[in-house]
């Protein structure tokens, strides 16, 4: 094989592999619904669309229910915009890079992004079809923080269990119904169970019509928040 053809062949083989490595994914857009039920019976439903571009680092929710509102998480602020006017601006830690969207686009969802933090993988076990990793906080943080256990099935994040420092379960999350869109695997459903004093509350997040790396609709992925200040 001539060098030119060999190079082309390698390029053709390597390109999907590089893409599968997650470096090529930048945008995700999906319809979202979040259903919550508290132990006292209080229920809530939030529906709309979410757009995220990992270069812009803005999580933008175009909510339609209960009311039409746009929520923009940008830098250290969360803006709520109704009918073009900012109805509130809240100061927050920067959130975008810790979102499920960013983790999925950057191929760090499988370990919940913990491999890039001071948490350390303490133990790894295989149990049936699950690979379970126990992550422990750094020594300096063991007073306020507990361990986190992560279960991976079929190389996809399945479950996350959060403990308090006394090893009491605080929260369980399950990532289910994965959908592969344009080669990117993203959960269609996240089940979250919070446990306080043994009493459970539930939250189910559903993603539908997931679109990856949508080429158009740039304005959907960036909100000019500077114009709002």
Q: Which of 60, 74, 81, 148 binds another protein (CB under 8 A)?
A: 148
Near another protein in 90-109, by CB under 8 A: 90-95, 97-103, 106, 108
- Say how many residues touch another protein, by CB under 8 A: 83
**H-only helix segments in 100-214:** 100-105
| Residue 194 C-beta: closest distance to another protein, Å | 8
Q: Does residue 43 touch another protein according to CB under 8 A?
A: yes
Q: Does residue 11 touch another protein according to CB under 8 A?
A: no
Stretch that binds another protein, among 8-16, 83-91, 178-186, 218-226 (CB under 8 A): 83-91
Q: Which is nearer to another protein, 59 or 210 (CB)?
A: 59
> With contact defined as beta carbons under 8 Å apart, do 174 and 194 qualify?
no
Q: For residue 69, list its beta bridge partners.
A: 63
| Residue 141 C-beta: closest distance to another protein, Å | 5
Structure tokens, 76: 């250290």
Q: Which of 24, 56, 78, 225 binds another protein (CB under 8 A)?
A: 78
Query: CA distances (Å), 69 to each of 46, 84, 89, in order?
Result: 11, 9, 13
| Burial (CB count <10 Å: 0-12, 13-18, 19+), residue 82 | middle
> With contact defined as beta carbons under 8 Å apart, do 207 and 188 qualify?
yes
Q: Does residue 211 touch another protein according to CB under 8 A?
A: no
């Amino acid at each position: 094989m001539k060098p030119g053809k060999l190079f082309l062949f390698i390029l053709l083989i390597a390109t999907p592999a590089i893409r599968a490595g997650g470096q090529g994914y930048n945008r995700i857009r999906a319809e979202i619904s979040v259903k919550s039920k508290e132990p006292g019976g209080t229920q809530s439903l939030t529906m709309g669309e979410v757009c995220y571009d990992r270069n812009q680092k803005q999580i933008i929710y175009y909510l339609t229910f209960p009311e039409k509102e746009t929520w923009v998480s940008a830098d250290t602020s969360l803006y709520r915009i109704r009918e073009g006017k900012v109805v509130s601006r809240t100061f927050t830690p920067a959130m975008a890079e810790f979102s499920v969207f960013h983790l999925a686009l950057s191929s760090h969802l499988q370990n919940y992004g913990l491999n890039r933090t001071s948490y350390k993988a303490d133990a790894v076990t295989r149990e049936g079809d699950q690979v379970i990793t126990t992550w422990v906080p750094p020594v300096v943080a063991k007073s306020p923080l507990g361990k986190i256990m992560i279960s991976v099935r079929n190389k996809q994040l399945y479950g996350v269990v959060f403990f308090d420092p006394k090893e009491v379960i605080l929260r369980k999350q399950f990532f289910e119904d994965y959908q592969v869109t344009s080669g990117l695997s993203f959960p269609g459903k996240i089940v979250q169970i919070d446990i306080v004093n043994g009493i459970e509350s539930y939250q189910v997040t559903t993603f539908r019509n997931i679109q990856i790396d949508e080429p158009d609709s740039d304005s959907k992925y960036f909100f000019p928040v500077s114009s709002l200040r």
